[in-house]
Amino acid sequence: MIVVLDRDIARADIDRLTEDLGAAGLSAKLSGNGDPWMLVAAEQVPGRVRQWVRELPGVSRVVDVPGKFRLSSRDFQPESSTVTLDNGLTIGGTGFVVAAGPCAVESAELLSATADSVRAAGAEVLRGGAYKPRTSPYSFQGLGPAGADLLDQERKRSGLPVVTEVVDPGDVELLADRADMLQVGTRNMQNFALLSEVGRSGKPVLLKRGFAATIEEWLFAAEYVLSTGNTQVVLCERGIRSYDPSTRFTLDVSAVPVVKALSHLPVIIDPSHSSGRRDLVKPLALAAAAVGADGLLVDVHPESAAALCDGDQALSPEEFTDLMASLRRVLAAVDRTLARPCEPLRAREA
Ligand code: PEP
Ligand code: MN
């Protein structure tokens, strides 16, 4: 049960309602950001209790949500949600959005060259990590704040919105000022402090599936962000750990229709981190379009042999251009198209 409260409700009235629900044996979590506030009950609530709650002062409406999920559930919101970046680009809905770029921000020159090539091929978002969560402490850890500044410069120069990973709740503010979308990576999917902090930033969030996480755990992670009142959440399937070492991870394409049946949130696919192999990126990207995903996150690097991170899975600009040409044909076959080009960020800032 989700209790949507009146928009002008006073804090004391929210406390009173919470106490009333508590006295009736319901533990309700205050969610949202006042626009509106919501009380989300953990338990399933019998119809007669819902009717009683509906009549309490300060309650605007009560939504019965029969499954496990609450704010991410299609029972709460039957229509698919869309996430809109600052330049007006919409993720979810009709258009298919491609985010592409280097795994890590390495230099201004590399970032600009990659941005220009992926944009020319039809990408609408630039990806790149300033903070890299690396398995080995001896691997390149990213340029940190200097990398974040390069992303900010590049989005202003190229006009492409930027998605970048945040690994520490303390860096959310810095990255929220320098990027258009904050990525929570596979290794942090259950970092609940981080999920709440990116939620509170109000920025669009790209939430990757933990490589050992069930779909249920992934959606509950999304609920942490949604509970803060931030509805701008996009899910990203990036492969799960299986027994076969032929690929780095196993892309779970079935996750897309499974999640879409349960949840209204957009879902994109990362064929690069799932396979870890350049030769598999194109076929998996085409599968994403056919299976109903809302977009892609793809590693592209102009000199993959010299890449500081994940060079084995990076496409060259030429390979990415070829992928985009095939992608357009697969999208057309399923009556879809790439998202329409958006106004550059810098034009909106002027
Ligand atoms: C990435 O996208 O750069 C990344 C580290 O991905 P993942 O969290 O899926 O490994
Ligand atoms: Mn990577």
164-174: per-residue pLDDT in tens? Answer: 999 999 999 99
pLDDT of residue 342: 73
Q: Which of 152-156, 177-181, 324-328, 336-340 has the lowest mean pLDDT?
A: 336-340
Residue 248, ligand 1, Cβ within 6 A: no
Whole-number percent of the chain with pLDDT over 90: 95
d(CA 70, CA 72): 6
The pLDDT of residue 45 is above 70: yes
pLDDT of residue 170: 98
Q: Which residue has the tokens 């990806």?
A: 127
Query: Which protein residue has the closest C-alpha to ligand 1 atom 10?
Result: 186
Confidence of residue 343 (pLDDT cuts 50, 70, 90): low
pLDDT of residue 340: 82
User: What are the structural domain ranges in the chain?
Assistant: 2-63, 83-338
d(CA 118, CA 121): 5
Q: Which of 12-21, 30-39, 257-266, 341-350 has the lowest mean pLDDT?
A: 341-350
* The domain defined by 2-63 carries CATH number 3.30.70.260: yes
The mean pLDDT of the chain is: 96
DSSP 225-291: HHHTT---EEEEE--B--S-TTSSSB--TTHHHHHHHHB-S-EEE-HHHHH--HHHHHHHHHHHHHH
Q: What residues pack around ion ligand 2 (CB closer than 5 A)?
A: 103, 310
**pTM metric for this prediction:** 0.96
The pLDDT of residue 185 is above 80: yes
The CATH number that domain 83-338 falls under is 3.20.20.70
pLDDT per position as a tens digit, 264-310: 999 999 999 999 999 999 999 999 999 999 999 999 999 999 999 99
By DSSP bridging, strand 337-338 and strand 90-91 are unpaired
Confidence of residue 346 (pLDDT cuts 50, 70, 90): low
Ligand 2: centre distance to CA 102 (Å): 8
The pLDDT of residue 341 is above 90: no
d(CA 209, CA 187): 9
Q: In this structure, which ligand is nearest to the CA of 100?
A: 1
Q: Confirm if 121 and 148 have CB atoms less than 8 A apart.
A: no
Ligand 2: centre distance to CA 310 (Å): 5
Which atom of ligand 1 approaches the CA of 274 most closely? 9
What 319-322 contacts at long range (C-beta under 8 Å, 24+ apart), as own/partner pairs, is 319/278, 319/281, 319/282, 320/100, 320/117, 320/118, 320/121, 320/123, 321/117, 321/120, 321/121, 322/282
By DSSP bridging, strand 95-101 and strand 125-127 are parallel
